[in-house]
Structure 1
Amino acid sequence: MTIWQALLLAIIEGITEFLPVSSTGHMIIASSFMGISHDEFTKMYTVNIQFGAIISVLVLYTRRFLQTTDFYYKLFVAFLPAAVIGFLLNDYIDALLENVVVVAISLLVGGIILVFIDRIAQEHPKDREITYPEALKIGFYQCIAMIPGVSRSAATIIGGMFQGLTRRQSAEFSFFLAVPTMAAAAGYKFLKTYESIQAADIKILLFGNAIAFIVAMLAIRFFINFLTRYGFKVFGYYRIILGIILLALLAMGYELDIV
């Protein structure tokens, strides 16, 4: 992986991590088009640069994280399903990460859901406290995002909407839940591969996290404002178009699988 490839992947991560369009799916597509060899460092890099995006949430929502312990208990309850299922299915999930067909279908199906989510999910007129059962249910929705192309953000926001939360509250709880979830995923992947990492790889990793942090800060601000005013349809249509393009390219014989 060159520094320019690392830069592009970090920008993609920062833009897409908190948007309901699948950051993993976009990085898989970008890696495929750039011909990046999907070795152990590349796999670790695409997961670990999520840590930079996590820091952006902590910076933007510092006051929200200085809350009562009840806030953290609910985050823990929502985090548990992904922690258990992710650990048990880690190897299977890694295999799916190399399949562009899965990404394309997930983008298409998820896009259709987002187009209609505002109609089928009745949001509460005002923000309210999330209950423990609701937090757990959102946690199970997050597990669906282990399928590449689904989008962790989309899955958890949809989960929140189905619990009657407002768009903004669903999105912000999704951001908060990303912190323990992505930190655990990034830390686990790093520990599995750190012995094989070279000094040059560490520099690329730090560079990628810094870029992802800056871009994610901007993306979060944009998303919240856009979502409050316009809803999810634009993201749904984008996913549908991208999914159709990918399936069409695959049908025409283009080789898009990871090298």
Structure 2
Amino acid sequence: MTLIEAVVCGIIQGAAEFLPISSSGHLALLHAMFGLTDPESCVTFDVMLHLATLAAVICVYSNDIFSLIKAIFTMPAKLFTGRAKELSGAERFALYIIIATAPLGFAFFLEDAVTGIAASPKIIGIVLILNGFMLLLGDRVGKGNRSSEELGAPRALAVGAFQLAAIVPGLSRSGTTITGGLICGLDRGQAVRFSFIMSVPAIIGANLVRAVRMVRSPVESSQLGVYAVGMVFAAVTGFFALKLLSYIAEKKKFGIFSIYCFAVGGAAVIFG
């Protein structure tokens, strides 16, 4: 991989991880475009880029995340002693994040199907077009006023099901989960907040699995510097993409990204 390719992949990952245009779909298309056919090196670089965007989430939502970490340690005592009604807002939020993450356990059984989709630019294009329609739906729902702390366990599980669907390359995790949150009655700003904070355990879990492959196939030392540059661009781009999406979600402007998904998806179907 060249330095220019790493920079382009880093910028695309940073933007697409948070903007509702599917980072997995874009990385798969870029790998095909750049002729990156070695699956092990692609996995290694993808893991490093995802860690960079994880750093962006932690930076933007650091106060929430540290509060939730503390709540995870205080919450069980109340749950297991029949004092669930005494849970604080942070403890309820932490509980709902855990519940929303649970459906991802099924992702392991879908890995082969997902890998097959990632290898086909035409299929990714079709899914990107479907993603565009989903974003249009996101602009038309969302009249709820619930906070993340008021979501409730059944609705948290429903948002988690939306996140599971987003493992398909071409479906945006952020767009899918934000739309799911809006359907479940979250306020638009809270839907964004819940979506990105629930991405932290999702990103960590997914990349722990991928890291096993990295151990089997260590990174060539000559590529470390190139990968590091890609990570920096992914983290910086991701930070600004997070801020931008929060603004766009509030203004109900997902239609902008729908047009983009239709264009890129259509191009992938025609030329893939």
- TM-score norm. by structure 1 comes to 0.88
Quick one: distance in 2 between partners of 1:117 and 1:156?
10
Question: Is the 2:99–2:160 Cα contact (8 Å) retained in structure 1?
Answer: yes
| SS class of match (1:164) | coil
Structure 2: which 5+ residue stretches go unaligned? 73-90
Worse overlay, 126-135 or 165-174: 126-135
1:9 corresponds to: 9
Q: Is residue 200 from structure 1 mapped to residue 253 from structure 2 by the alignment? A: no
1:139 corresponds to: 160
Question: Is the 1:115–1:237 Cα contact (8 Å) retained in structure 2?
Answer: no
Q: Is residue 107 from structure 1 mapped to residue 107 from structure 2 by the alignment? A: no
Q: Alpha-carbon deviations, 1:75-122, whole Å to 9, x = none?
A: 12111111x112222233223211112211111112122123332x24
Q: Is residue 23 from structure 1 mapped to residue 23 from structure 2 by the alignment? A: yes
Q: CA 1:11/1:28 → structure 2, altered by over 3 Å: closer, same or farther?
A: same
Q: CA 1:239/1:224 → structure 2, altered by over 3 Å: closer, same or farther?
A: same
Give 1:204 shift: 3.6
Quick one: distance in 2 between partners of 1:125 and 1:77?
21
Q: CA 1:23/1:95 → structure 2, altered by over 3 Å: closer, same or farther?
A: same
- What letter matches 1:40 in structure 2? E
1:85 corresponds to: 106
2:37 corresponds to: 37
Quick one: distance in 2 between partners of 1:38 and 1:101?
20
Give 1:164 shift: 1.1
Q: Is residue 228 from structure 1 mapped to residue 260 from structure 2 by the alignment? A: no
Q: CA 1:175/1:127 → structure 2, altered by over 3 Å: closer, same or farther?
A: same
Rg larger in structure: 2
Question: Is the 1:22–1:148 Cα contact (8 Å) retained in structure 2?
Answer: yes
Quick one: distance in 2 between partners of 1:194 and 1:52?
19
Give 1:66 shift: 2.8
Give 1:123 shift: 2.4
Q: CA 1:195/1:147 → structure 2, altered by over 3 Å: closer, same or farther?
A: same
Q: Root-mean-square deviation (CA), in Å?
A: 1.8
Q: Is residue 239 from structure 1 mapped to residue 261 from structure 2 by the alignment? A: yes
Quick one: distance in 2 between partners of 1:8 and 1:2?
10
Identity %: 26
Quick one: distance in 1 between partners of 2:108 and 2:232?
27
1:252 corresponds to: none
Q: CA 1:88/1:94 → structure 2, altered by over 3 Å: closer, same or farther?
A: same
Q: Which of 241, 253, 268 is residue 219 of structure 1 equivalent to?
A: 241
Q: Is residue 158 from structure 1 mapped to residue 185 from structure 2 by the alignment? A: no
Q: CA 1:7/1:184 → structure 2, altered by over 3 Å: closer, same or farther?
A: same
| SS class of match (2:37) | coil
1:73 corresponds to: 95
- TM-score norm. by structure 2 comes to 0.84
| SS class of match (2:151) | coil
Quick one: distance in 2 between partners of 1:235 and 1:167?
17
Question: Is the 1:112–1:237 Cα contact (8 Å) retained in structure 2?
Answer: no
Give 1:126 shift: 5.7
1:248 corresponds to: 270
Structure 1: which 5+ residue stretches go unaligned? 250-255
Q: Is residue 49 from structure 1 mapped to residue 49 from structure 2 by the alignment? A: yes
- What letter matches 1:124 in structure 2? G
Quick one: distance in 1 between partners of 2:230 and 2:270?
31
Question: Is the 1:22–1:149 Cα contact (8 Å) retained in structure 2?
Answer: yes
- What letter matches 2:173 in structure 1? R
Quick one: distance in 2 between partners of 1:94 and 1:21?
19
Quick one: distance in 2 between partners of 1:78 and 1:17?
19
